[in-house]
Amino acid sequence: MRIISANVNGIRAAAQKGFFDYLSKSNADVVCLQEVKAHLCDLHENILSPHGYHGVFECAQKKGYSGVAIYSKEKPINVQNGLGIPEFDAEGRFIRIDFKDTAVLSWYLPSGSSSEERQEAKYRALDALLPVLKQMINEPKNIVICGDWNIAHQNIDLKNWKANQKNSGFLPEERAWLSHVLEEIGWVDIWRTLYPEEPGYTWWSYRGQAYAKDVGWRIDYQIVSPQMAKKAQSAHVYKDERFSDHAPLIVDYA
């Protein structure tokens, strides 16, 4: 089972850059997208259900903002739009699909980099997600949470960690929250488990030739339940083509 997570920073822009050609050759069973930045009425059929995939979307109320989606080869038996957190459901940040034995979520945690108000919103989102994560880990299903978490967890997860210790995305409170999710609740960060010494950057600023110089951040994750973690075989970040300021994260599970 191959699962891809990709922040596309506008699904129509990514389409113009060849994302769906890549998708057709990716052999993915499930593809989770973040920052779709579109409403369903804006999208053609070749984006709603490309190459025979079943597509489900959760769009933000605001036009051109946020939004998540999941494509799957197999039709899901259940789709959950939102997590019952009104402030963030209105921003189109969470969607879940269920199969018989497995559930996959695509979520896009808020960024706090634009203002203090958005950082406070990010903290509210993290507080609201903790009980959800505590409840989900006790489900009998294999669970994969894909997405842009907007947090680099450890020093290895961003190039310039010393200079970013007071910046959103690498604040002590955010990192402690993610440590709690992984070390105390029990979720598993697949990339860091498979590759303890590999940075695995998935996002690069458009400024200062960050991509060319590989000055990146690892903020896109596949974080999974312990039983699913046992099935993880390999992972890679796809950089042969560039569809947005993020790169797709691919994990193969047995």
- Cα-Cα-Cα-Cα torsion 158, 164, 167, 172, nearest 10 degrees, comes to 80
* Phi/psi at 124 (5° precision): -65, -40
Dist CA 6 CA 14 (whole Å):
10
Reply yes or no on whether 148 is catalytic: yes
What is the total residue count of the chain?
254
Structure token pair of residue 26: 């990716």
Nearest to 178 by CA among 225, 221, 144: 221
Nearest to 47 by CA among 90, 16, 75, 88: 16
* HEC per residue, 16-76: HCCHHHHHHHCCCCEEEEECCCCCHHHCCHHHHCHHHCEEEEECCCCCCCCCEEEEECCCC
Catalytic residue among 29, 148, 157, 189: 148
Dist CA 87 CA 249 (whole Å):
28
For residue 193, give the 3-state DSSP assignment.
helix
Give the containing element (helix H, strand E) for 173. helix 172-179
Q: Looking at the annotation, which residues are catalytic?
A: 148
